[in-house]
Amino acid sequence: MKVKKDYIFSVRDKCLKFSDTNVCNAIPYNITLFMLSSFNINSLIDFGSQEGQFANRVMTELGVNHIKCVDIDPTSVNNGRKRFPKIDWECSDMLDYKFQKQYDAITSINWFFYLDKDERIEIYKKVSKIKGVFIITYGDINFHKLHNMSSDSVVDEIKTHMRVLNVVKGIDYETANDCTGRWYTSIACVGVTS
Ligand SMILES: C[S@@+](CC[C@H](N)C(=O)[O-])C[C@H]1O[C@@H](n2cnc3c(N)ncnc32)[C@H](O)[C@@H]1O
């Protein structure tokens, strides 16, 4: 994961601006929050959480108090720990993460586009051992060709490992981007249980 890590760290500041702006109002986050609200969730683990902006919404708006955030980037984890100290924090690649306990919900929002198919499958297998709801919005459509993915193919992949409860597809145009103009995010929120 070395090359990807370098890339991921190099776009940290840009991503931080997107998340700080978009987490409050962009469609993928609102849909994920809405889907989470339809389950009885007491605990959540959010992978690729960045500084915990979405997790904090889950805590304040849904009243979920047992929240863990995991991100591959140590700077994001350190900043997140200062921003949202009530959240439990860990720096880890989701691919290496070893679950120590069960969570009612697992979220991976807007970063699956970094993963190739083998890595995605590894994650579905890992998550399917946890009894709960798994929600992904798999993010930037510009990467999809690179990783041979489409909303349909990703849903099919997940179906081989989990029961798919709900799929929402769409394109959201996020304008909080000072570098490349518009930022296109394809969304497929998938509620899944093992
Ligand atoms: C585009 S940002 C999205 C942040 C946040 N989920 C949001 O939607 O606002 C992607 C985040 O995923 C993290 N990330 C990328 N690959 C990861 C991996 N394999 N395991 C854990 N975190 C990862 C990055 O460090 C970054 O914080």
Q: Is 103 in the pocket of ligand 1 (CB under 6 A)?
A: no
pLDDT reported for residue 28: 78
pLDDT surpasses 80 at 165 = no
State whether the beta carbon of 15 lies less than 6 angstroms from ligand 1.
yes
For residue 90, the CA-to-ligand 1 centroid distance in Å is 13
State if residue 151 touches ligand 1 by the CB under 6 angstroms criterion: no
Is the model's pLDDT at 181 over the cut of 50? no
Longest alpha-carbon distance in the chain: 42
CA distance 107 to 136: 6
Residue nearest ligand 1's atom 13 by CA: 48
The residues near 24 (Cβ < 8 Å, ≥ 6 apart) are 57
| Section 97-118 average pLDDT | 90
**Hey, what CATH topology would domain 2-193 get?**
Rossmann fold (3.40.50)
Which residue among 7, 15, 16 has the greatest number of ligand 1 atoms within 8 angstroms of its CB, and so is best to mutate?
Answer: 15
182 pLDDT higher than 50: no
Window from 58-67, 72-81, 107-116 with minimum mean pLDDT: 107-116
Q: In this predicted structure, what is the pLDDT of residue 164?
A: 81
Pocket lining: 76 vs ligand 1, CB cutoff 6 Å: yes
Q: In percent, how much of the chain has pLDDT > 70?
A: 80
Residue 188 has pLDDT above 80, yes or no: no
Residue 109: name the closest of 19, 174, 40 by CA: 19
- In angstroms, what is the span from residue 94 Cα to ligand 1's centroid? 10
Quick: pLDDT tens for 63-100: 999 999 999 999 999 999 999 999 999 999 999 999 99
Query: Mind listing the pLDDT tens digit for each residue in 8-34?
Result: 999 899 889 878 888 877 777 888 898
Q: Which residue's C-alpha comes closest to atom 14 of ligand 1?
A: 48
Residue of 44, 87, 111 to test ligand 1 pocket, by largest number of atoms within 8 Å of CB: 111
Q: Give the pLDDT score at 173.
A: 57
In sequence order, what are the residues at sequence separation of 6 or more whose Cβ sits closer than 8 angstroms to the Cβ of residue 115? 123, 147
